[in-house]
Amino acid sequence: MLRRYLPMLFFSLLLVTHSAEAVETVRVLILPFEIHASQNLSYLKEDIPKVIQEHLEAEGAVSVEMNRVPPSAAVPDITSNVESLRQIGLNAGADSVIWGSMTRIGDNISLDVNLIDTVGTKAVFSIYEAGTGMENLRNIAKNSAEKLALQLFRRELITQVRVTGNKRIEADAIKRVIRVKAGDVLRAGKLAKDMKSIYKMGYFEDIRVESEAREDGRSIVFHVQEKPTIRQISFSGNKVFKDDKLRENLSVSTGSILNIFTIKSNIDQLEAMYKEKNYHNVKVVYVVNEQDNNQADVEFVVEEGKKIKVKEITFQGNVTFPDKKLRKLISTSEKGFWSWITSSGEFDREALSQDAARLMGYYHINGFIHAKVADPVVDFQDQWIYITFKIEEGERFKVGTIDVDGDLILPKARLMPRLQISQEPFFNRETVRKDILWLTDLYADSGFAFADIAPMTREDSENHLVDITYSVNKKDKVYFENINISGNTRTRDKVIRRELRIFEQELYSGSRLKRSVRNLHRLDFFEDVKVDTPKGIGEDKMNVNVNVVEKPTGTFTFGAGYSTVDSIFVTGSVSQRNLFGRGQILKLGGQIGGVSDLYNLSFTEPWMFDIPLSGTINIYRTRRDYDTYDRTSMGGGLGASYPVYDFTRASLFYRYDVTDVNEIRYDASDNIKEMEGENTTSSITTAITHDSRDRAFNTTEGQNHRLSYTYAGIGGDIGYNKVVGELGWFIPVHKGLVTFLHGESGYVREIQGYKLPDYEKFYLGGMNSIRGFDFQGINIKGINSDGEVTEEGGEKYVQFNFELTYPLFKDLGIVGVVFYDTGNVYGKGESIDFGNLRQAAGYGIRWYSPIGPIRIEGGHILDPIEAFGEDSSVNWEFSMGGAF
């Protein structure tokens, strides 16, 4: 840097010193100008000298004021002799005297300016400048002043500007940043600025300026030395990041100009990459290896150091809550034994900042309304990080009196018990917020869309109480004006509108608006649904703008999978969930497996007769090889369902089925042997279903209940009554942890004069019932007429499942599961005995993969019966994809 700027500083000092000497010796007296014009322009007598004076003073001259002229010395007119003027200047202490006149004829203006030294015999130096228009008078005076400055300071003009030494950078590109040009007065300051401008281009290692004398003035030459270009960039010492990853974060590249400042900036960026990975002791230096042809290789040498982790987290000032409790609230943790798996001890500044806010929020919801948590103190020591949270708890406040006032739409006696803050032992801001949301929703459902609920709090510092009053301003009722739908290019407006629970000109309802949006999401026709509610033409009107972004609803799938039940299977389907934009569903699917085949064609109209009456028709063919017989079925059915309550539908379905039972083995039960050949089933099923799950796979919340009754015997060979009930709850617990409680039971009884086939009875065991047991491993053991031990289904059963699921990799849809299953089946004449339920427990992984749901689950039988060939070892089951 010193080598670069020394020439410039030296050159500038020479010119500035020369200029300073001139400034110190030049003192100027400027006399009032004579004005020759038909108009009264006498004010210009003083204005024109002032313009000249300002310019000369800027150039370094010292102006002598008129009041220094002795009173006895008269100011001569234009005809005065030179000697008189010199004497006046000497009396005033001036080195030179300037005087002149301005003449205006019509639009033409001219200045005659004279200069004479007060000491010496030099002749008068005269200048003539002319122009058009009074608006140009100031420029004319400036031009005159510049010529006077040349004479006063004996300055030289620049007659040529050249650039030498450049090889890659064109001279014209350099000259574009140079301000001086031929015809300018030579000034050191301007040349210094031009040198800085050339440096800022970033292409040059060194710059020198020379001034060469010519007959007509001075030639200015800028000598430049270009910086080398980068031929190659390399790294050494790096193990955490590969070269390509480091190179992605560089702003320099091969072929670019070698700029040391840019290199240092890139070093900062590389070190920041390492620090984000907790390598806070990283050091990066650079080495430049010069090459031929003004090129250079740059090597970044990395000293990574060891990855440092959080050694200790301490809390200061906490009295009420112990350190152990506070550590559970924050995401930052100390390095533990399993840190290589759990990533404990990882340091993240953003997460640490959120931890401080999380701690303060916890204090605020537990009565410490003035609690403060300072920014965490982070101390880096060698290979460890020490973090300190400084807490100022303050006093703890309980809940005082609670009240609701203002515009009440319900009696206060009905509102007060619903306020959750009354159940809190200490003042809780989060609970207050929930109460406000509840009151807001309550008023919104009554049409008061813009109701204002303001919590008024009053602190009793002496008794440490907070009194709360919810002040309500319900404002005016609001009505839906227009419902506008946009973005749907294929789905018909009618399909969207029929999912809405709001209607034009009806009273506003917040809950029905939210339900409408949820219904549109559940259709699964749209990538995004946005709802905006701008005001209508009046204060009591509100428009609803529904904007949807459609996604493909037709799918073609083909794949293969494996399950412990069907072994290897191949599956494929063609489906359209929004046929012709009408919301109709058409699906053709098939699955061919080792022990079963399935083909199914179905069509569903969700809104028959423009009411939410769903109609379905289907035909199918199935084949299944059981342990003791083979079964082939063909049939079809039709049915309808209708919503009777939120998420609840009642359905009625008729099925006609022809089943061929063959390949009966010797150990089949007598019941199965009696079914050999074709059997016809004509049945009707009625059911009521409640399904509020947020999704079908990896469900996180909601309920799924079903109660069905089937009557078979409307003709055909098969006749029975069957009742099956099922209850299921998905309960979110904490941070993605979900509890699933499930229970079901069934009963089937043969109708006199008809047959009850084994495939309509109940079995348990396998992935979808009691895991750990083999498929249909829980059954009724018996002996057939040939004396063989047999297995057949029961006529009653009961089953319970308890699961805990937790997302292992949320973005990938992978969750872990642990479970406990219990249940049993019972034969004819047996009663359900809760004392002899079979039990199993286990664990597994579920993944909603791009090719379909994948389940890997292993169960242990907790009560193995050796006589049945059971043991307590893990029984793994695997399934991929799904049937149609």
113-171 confidence digits (pLDDT tens): 999 887 656 678 899 999 898 888 999 999 888 888 877 776 677 888 999 988 888 88
> Residues 226-243: pLDDT tens digits?
888 888 999 999 888 998
Q: What is the pLDDT of residue 236?
A: 92
Dihedral angle sign, alpha carbons of residues 804, 808, 814, 816: negative
Residue 17 has pLDDT above 50, yes or no: no
Least confident of 255-259, 434-438, 724-728, 821-825: 255-259
pLDDT at 9: 45
CA 834, CA 781: separation in Å to the nearest integer?
19
- pLDDT of 602 reads 94
- pLDDT of 795 higher than 50: yes
Confidence of residue 341 (pLDDT cuts 50, 70, 90): low
Cα separation of 615 and 55, whole Å?
Answer: 96
Residue 629 is which amino acid?
Y
Strands, E, within 306-397: which ranges? 309-316, 372-373, 377-381, 384-392
pLDDT (0 to 100) of residue 75: 46
Read off the tokens for 271: 């070190």
Distance CA 421, CA 403 (A): 11
Structure tokens given for 139: 């420029």
Instruction: Provide the residue type at 394 as one letter.
Output: G
Facing residues of 586 across strands?
Answer: 576, 603
Pair of tokens at residue 786? 């040939």
Residue ranges in 308-466 assigned as alpha helix (H)? 323-329, 339-342, 349-364, 412-415, 429-444
On the question of pLDDT at 19 being above 70, the answer is no
| Cβ-based neighbour number of residue 120 at 10 Å | 9
Question: pLDDT of 729-738, one tens digit each?
Answer: 999 998 889 9
pLDDT reported for residue 579? 87
Q: What is the CB-side half-sphere exposure of residue 77 using CA atoms within 13 A?
A: 3
Of the chain, the percentage scoring pLDDT greater than 90 comes to 37
Give the confidence band of 189 by pLDDT, cuts at 50, 70, 90: low
pLDDT at res. 852: 61
Residue 20: predicted pLDDT = 36
The residues near 855 (Cβ < 8 Å, ≥ 6 apart) are 767, 844, 845, 846, 877, 878, 879, 880
- Say if CB 46 and CB 30 are below 8 A apart: no
Neighbour count for residue 203 (Cβ, 10 Å): 19
Type and span of the H or E element at 262:
helix 260-276
Helix axes 137-153, 44-58, angle to 10 degrees: 50
Contact 429, 457 (CB under 8 A): no
Residues 554, 491: Cα–Cα separation, whole Å: 13
Residues in contact with 462: Cβ distance below 8 Å, sequence separation at least 6, in sequence order: none
Segment among 349-353, 492-496, 799-803, 859-863 with least mean pLDDT: 349-353
Region 317-335: mean pLDDT is 89
C-alpha to C-alpha distance for 843 and 446, rounded to whole angstroms = 48
Bigger pLDDT: 390 or 155? 390
For the stretch 442-486, pLDDT in tens is 999 899 988 999 999 999 988 999 999 999 999 999 999 999 999
Residue 174: exposure state from Cβ atoms within 10 A (0-12, 13-18, ≥19): buried
**What is the per-residue pLDDT for 119?**
63
Of residues 798 and 627, more confidently modeled: 798
d(CA 714, CA 681): 8
Lowest-confidence pick of 235-249, 661-675, 767-781: 661-675
Q: Return the structure tokens found at 194.
A: 């031009």
Cα separation, 153 vs 59, in Å, equals: 9
Do the bridges between strand 720-734 and strand 737-750 make them parallel or antiparallel, or are there none, so unpaired? antiparallel
Query: Does residue 759 contact residue 792 with C-beta atoms inside 8 Å?
Result: no
User: Residue 263 above 60 pLDDT?
Assistant: yes
559 band by pLDDT with thresholds 50, 70 and 90:
low
Pick from 825, 797, 800: which is nearest to 728 by CA? Answer: 800
The amino acid present at 864, given as its one-letter code, is P
Q: What is the pLDDT of residue 556?
A: 66
**Measured distance CA(498)–CA(611) in Å, rounded:** 9
Q: What is the pLDDT of residues 366-388, one digit of tens each?
A: 999 999 999 899 888 878 889 99
Mean pLDDT computed over 769-796: 85
Residue 216, CA distances (Å) to 379, 639, 680 in order:
70, 108, 121
User: In 154-211, where does DSSP find H-type helix?
Assistant: 171-175, 188-200
Q: How far apart are CA 478 and CA 509, in angstroms?
A: 9
